[in-house]
């Protein structure tokens, strides 16, 4: 028997699941269905363009897609081009790995005036389904709320010059947008103290590498109490982060034209504005008399004069048509990857992996073990249930509905086209920014 498996979502989580399936003792045939013409999900559209080192993972993922047992079927939208019951007609099991693309909310007054970090990242990464322009509104000072790697990416891209970014894969529309910004100061705010920052050590150190950007760690709120010392004693990476931050506190400024300010123990309380425009960002000083870095307000408020506020406190997954949804946790309800119905019973042949399974936590590498758990349950329970079992039947289904499927051959052509565009300007690649251009290049 050859087990037929569909994976909805062509990012790292889905590709890792496909790889693990093909390395099992079971004969499998895997189709990866992806909404975009290009694979790789957040590695392509969620990693800052000035971090090519992280994007090296794409090479490994691409080798998985080239396997004979795996087909990449791009430009297919689950919910409009195909539904769950359709997939079960052609596959014995379906794994959903659609990730998380929306922004979490701050839950403060005036939040409607803020901008989502995920939206900004999608813009500078040239996501084909997002607007080609970004309005910086002549802002000179902006706030970024959050202390994770996405917050660092957003702050760095906001602060750096457009010419610094021109060595990356950004297309002309992103370069022109960045060249138009007038931002000189980026203020990054953390609710807790520096010992609990979620930056990775390498990402934090890279923040200080730009010849045009000065990193300023403000001493106010830079508190490390006994609880914090106990915490970093258990977390090596966060101790490295704290050591780096401590070395930057109080150092002399050297007069670079752009600045990133890191503020700790400042909780967001309100975004102030007039006529729909941000005028200030209000925070409350916190302290942490409790264990685990939990903080409480001191009643001391500060209004920071900024013209934009970016939320970077985490991504949020979105519900999928025809599948149960846990609104509170923003995941598909599941038991170790087995999708559960409203009564808590497993839905036959239906699984999840990645952020849609466990929430947007962890680094890219964490999705491997996550996928292994899901695949183990799939292989233990899946049987030959699909009435139509051939890849040709799937092709016919989409052809009859007028869906232009973008397969791995098309992706290879698009990939080479982007590399060729890059060679013209001495870069590794230049991204094709629109869906129509991507499809045309792939044809």
- What pLDDT does 290 receive? 66
Looking at the fold, whether 70 and 118 belong to one and the same domain comes out as no
| Average pLDDT estimate for 98-106 | 93
Looking at the fold, whether 309 and 321 belong to one and the same domain comes out as no
| Average pLDDT estimate for 19-48 | 96
Give the integer Cα–Cα distance in Å for 155 and 151: 6
Beta strands 102-103; 406-407: pairing state: unpaired
Beta strands 28-33; 115-116: pairing state: unpaired
Instruction: Count how many Cα atoms sit within 13 Å of the Cα of residue 92 in the half-sphere of its side chain.
Output: 19
Give the integer Cα–Cα distance in Å for 335 and 326: 13
Give the integer Cα–Cα distance in Å for 298 and 238: 25
The tokens of 259 are what? 């600045």
Tell me: pLDDT of 316 over 80.
yes
Which residue, chain included where needed, has tokens 């685990």? Answer: 292
Looking at the fold, whether 136 and 170 belong to one and the same domain comes out as yes
Looking at the fold, whether 177 and 306 belong to one and the same domain comes out as yes
What are the pLDDT digits (tens) for 142-152? 999 999 999 99
Residue 329 CB neighbour total at 10 angstroms: 12
Looking at the fold, whether 242 and 302 belong to one and the same domain comes out as yes
Give the integer Cα–Cα distance in Å for 398 and 404: 8
Residue pair 95/6 in contact (Cβ under 8 Å)? The answer is yes
Residues in a beta bridge with 28: 3
Banded model confidence at residue 293, pLDDT cuts 50, 70, 90? low
Looking at the fold, whether 173 and 246 belong to one and the same domain comes out as yes
Looking at the fold, whether 187 and 295 belong to one and the same domain comes out as yes
Q: Which uninterrupted H or E stretch holds 260?
A: strand 258-263
What is the percentage of the chain residues whose pLDDT exceeds 90? 88
Banded model confidence at residue 289, pLDDT cuts 50, 70, 90? low
Which sign, positive or negative, has the C-alpha torsion 355, 436, 154, 152?
Answer: positive
- 25: exposed, middle or buried (Cβ count in 10 Å: 0-12, 13-18, 19+): exposed
Looking at the fold, whether 8 and 64 belong to one and the same domain comes out as yes
What are the pLDDT digits (tens) for 369-390? 999 999 999 999 989 999 999 9
Looking at the fold, whether 127 and 267 belong to one and the same domain comes out as yes
- The separation between CA 260 and the C-alpha centre of its own chain, rounded to angstroms, equals 22
Looking at the fold, whether 60 and 147 belong to one and the same domain comes out as no
Residue 98 CB neighbour total at 10 angstroms: 25
- What pLDDT does 351 receive? 98
The domain spanning residue 68 has which CATH number? 3.40.50.720
Q: 58 phi and psi, to 5 degrees?
A: -60, -35
What are the pLDDT digits (tens) for 45-60? 999 999 877 778 899 9
Banded model confidence at residue 68, pLDDT cuts 50, 70, 90? very high
Read off the DSSP letter of residue 265. S
What are the pLDDT digits (tens) for 325-361? 999 999 999 999 999 999 999 999 999 999 999 998 7
- What pLDDT does 128 receive? 96
Tell me: pLDDT of 292 over 90.
no
Last residue of a domain, one of 293, 315, 337: 315
Looking at the fold, whether 303 and 335 belong to one and the same domain comes out as no
Banded model confidence at residue 252, pLDDT cuts 50, 70, 90? confident
What are the pLDDT digits (tens) for 207-234? 999 999 999 999 999 988 888 888 888 8
* The total number of structural domains that make up the chain: 2
Q: Which domain holds residue 183?
A: 102-315
Residue pair 8/97 in contact (Cβ under 8 Å)? The answer is yes
What are the pLDDT digits (tens) for 128-144? 999 999 999 999 999 99
Looking at the fold, whether 239 and 311 belong to one and the same domain comes out as yes
What are the pLDDT digits (tens) for 71-82? 999 999 999 999
Last residue of a domain, one of 315, 336, 367: 315
Contact partners, residue 319, CB within 8 Å, separation at least 6? 325, 327
Give the integer Cα–Cα distance in Å for 63 and 439: 22
- What pLDDT does 419 receive? 97
Name the more confident of 240 and 289: 240
Give the integer Cα–Cα distance in Å for 12 and 189: 30
From first CA to last CA, the distance across the chain in angstroms is 34
Residue 223 CB neighbour total at 10 angstroms: 16
Q: What is the residue-averaged pLDDT of the chain?
A: 94
- What pLDDT does 387 receive? 96
The domain spanning residue 128 has which CATH number? 3.50.50.60
- Whole-structure pTM over 0.85, yes or no? yes
| Average pLDDT estimate for 260-266 | 97
Banded model confidence at residue 418, pLDDT cuts 50, 70, 90? very high
Residue pair 76/405 in contact (Cβ under 8 Å)? The answer is yes
Last residue of a domain, one of 315, 341, 366: 315
Tell me: pLDDT of 395 over 70.
yes
């Amino acid at each position: 028997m050859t087990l037929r498996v569909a994976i909805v979502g062509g990012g790292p989580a889905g590709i890792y699941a496909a790889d693990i399936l093909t390395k099992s003792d079971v004969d499998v045939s895997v189709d990866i269905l992806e909404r975009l013409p290009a694979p790789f999900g957040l590695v392509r559209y969620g990693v800052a363009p000035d971090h090519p080192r992280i994007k090296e993972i794409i090479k490994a993922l691409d080798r998985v897609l080239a396997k004979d047992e795996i087909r990449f079927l791009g430009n297919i939208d689950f919910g409009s081009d195909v539904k769950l019951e359709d997939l079960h007609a052609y596959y014995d099991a379906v794994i959903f790995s659609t990730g998380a693309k929306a922004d979490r909310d701050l839950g403060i007054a005036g939040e409607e005036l803020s901008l989502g970090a995920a939206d900004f990242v999608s813009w500078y990464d040239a996501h084909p389904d997002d607007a080609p322009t970004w309005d910086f509104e002549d802002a000179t000072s902006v706030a970024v709320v959050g202390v994770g790697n996405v917050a660092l990416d957003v702050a760095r891209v906001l602060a750096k010059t457009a010419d610094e970014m021109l060595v990356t894969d950004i297309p002309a529309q992103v370069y022109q947008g960045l060249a138009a910004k007038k931002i000189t100061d980026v203020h990054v705010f953390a609710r807790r103290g520096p010992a609990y920052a979620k930056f990775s050590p390498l990402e934090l150190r890279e923040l200080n590498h730009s010849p045009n950007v000065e990193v300023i760690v403000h001493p106010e709120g830079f508190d490390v109490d006994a609880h914090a010392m106990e915490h970093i004693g258990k977390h090596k990476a966060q101790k490295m982060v704290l050591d780096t931050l401590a070395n930057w506190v109080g150092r002399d400024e050297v007069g670079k034209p752009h600045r990133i300010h890191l503020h700790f123990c400042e909780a967001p309380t309100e975004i102030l504005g007039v006529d729909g425009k941000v005028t200030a960002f209000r925070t409350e000083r916190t302290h942490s008399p409790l264990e685990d870095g939990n903080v409480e307000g001191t009643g001391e408020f500060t209004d920071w004069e900024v013209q934009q506020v970016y939320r970077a406190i985490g991504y949020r997954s979105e519900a999928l048509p025809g599948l149960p949804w846990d609104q509170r946790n923003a995941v598909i309800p599941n038991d170790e990857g087995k999708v559960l119905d409203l009564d808590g019973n497993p839905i036959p042949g239906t699984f999840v992996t990645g952020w849609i399974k466990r929430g947007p936590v962890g680094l890219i590498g964490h999705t491997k073990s996550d996928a292994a758990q899901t695949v183990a349950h799939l292989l233990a329970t899946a049987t030959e249930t699909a009435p139509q079992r051939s890849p040709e039947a799937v092709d016919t289904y989409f052809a009859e509905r007028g869906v232009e499927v973008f397969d791995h051959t098309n992706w290879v052509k698009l990939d080479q086209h982007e590399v060729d565009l890059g060679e013209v300007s001495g870069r590794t690649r230049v991204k094709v920014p629109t869906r129509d251009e991507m499809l045309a290049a792939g044809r």
